[in-house]
Structure 1
């Protein structure tokens, strides 16, 4: 069963001074918590992963309905930009499809209390879709080695023998492939690259990182840029959070001996069987995804997106506000809203409990 696909509503942009403005409204029929006599007040500014965009719109609308004194602004500027803004103290938390790197953890965090660190809390699990727009082709099967060769520029036409062999019943055009990747630093790119690095290492020899590693194909800014480039181009393919696939074709990927499409359940299964990254703070829940499964009930091309927050905020009142909001988005109610609006996979009860326990320690 495919995920429900929703378009990304308009979101507020961060100005040069990060003076974020304008509140989200409740869109798409998302279930909001009942209005209450909440005493919470203040403004949260956040930025980061565009993959979280649809979910953040729904979360913000629901939280602000229940807490009318709170304004939350989220700019989907990309994972790398979000982490940079958070590290510099320009936003209160970051959304990121990549957990903090060791070198980032070694530095200071502008919004955090002196000599304290930030932690990674998983809040959004979603498949990455291989979206395509190929003349005369409605269904496409690809294995990881072929995907790697396409995006690395080693396979350049749609009727290449490697693609034909995987799609014997398709009429593939003798046309050049336009492979679209993210031009900005992107956690979606890092997850896509990590999948290829783990499953096709003989082809994809670049260590996974936020920047796209090869000088090939066509670059586009943000998730919306990739979707637009694939939609408006001819004989195109790209990768994007599955919530943004819309009416585009989505390739099936080979897992074991079968070609499978994405589902929330199959994405969540991979996350549930993956360990935490070793050597981190006790409350840092960065996940080392194991994408080498051969179980066709799993979908290994998946991303885990994090809320990156301070363990202790320099401004304690702001810390309590962030803690309240992130606690909501990681809760069963918040995860249900994201599943409805963005087709994401809710956190498992075990992972949700770990996130809740970590948030209890945030000051």
Structure 2
């Protein structure tokens, strides 16, 4: 029996609406968060889970009420009811897994980064364009309350043209132990691609301009035995002269205290967000006001945006997370890692 596929735009109106059947690829800790988002959205249905570790797939399937499970990705993509996939596997697998999803003709939401090299990211962009399927990278901070509130304020023109972003996300060690794949630069691509990419993408999204160069440095705060830098300082310059200063840490103490600091300065005002709230303080010549958070769960908002893109495929509706932006985020992360290694500014790959 052939799997269902999402109805094309010209027939969707004449057919009863049904949920998009989602295959979960990878049963690690982040998979549960995606499952919660699926369960909360009537437009999506979790069909099954596939993981290279069959035992882990089976355990996860039981936790989700006994859904179908397996360890063969190609076979799982042919299961009846699979229209799309959400990929939660290590970063170095994204290129191969994404290519398999594209070949199967399924839509894809993939955990960031899109890939660990610019060439692989561009290859996935091409494959999904050729297949006519939606490719969405999970840059979830775009869907978080604070990220959306800043973007809406900037797009409204309230602070004029943005010229400076200062963004810091600081916290302690979050992984189970040092053997975790995220601490292996060969598997994660380095901390700039695994965690720093959130800040690089967000600042670039807010500024609305093309990055030109990156200057970065990294430190090993938790222990010198780490193979990645768990503290990053990243400075990005943009084509129109704007600057983004991004600070990312997983080596802060105490580890239980997280801190986020946001400052966006424009030609007509500035927006601050304190670490202890989602609201921002807007300062312009007209005075000072509060900017409320956009509201909503980030993963739920992200899933909804992906489903919107699937529904709007072929209708000329721009997606909330363009593939070109995901490719650019990879280019920024790669440039950061290169700058740390060389100690010099690095041009961002076009």
TM-score when scaled to structure 2? 0.33
Structure with the larger RCO, 1 or 2 (CA within 8 Å, 6+ apart): 1
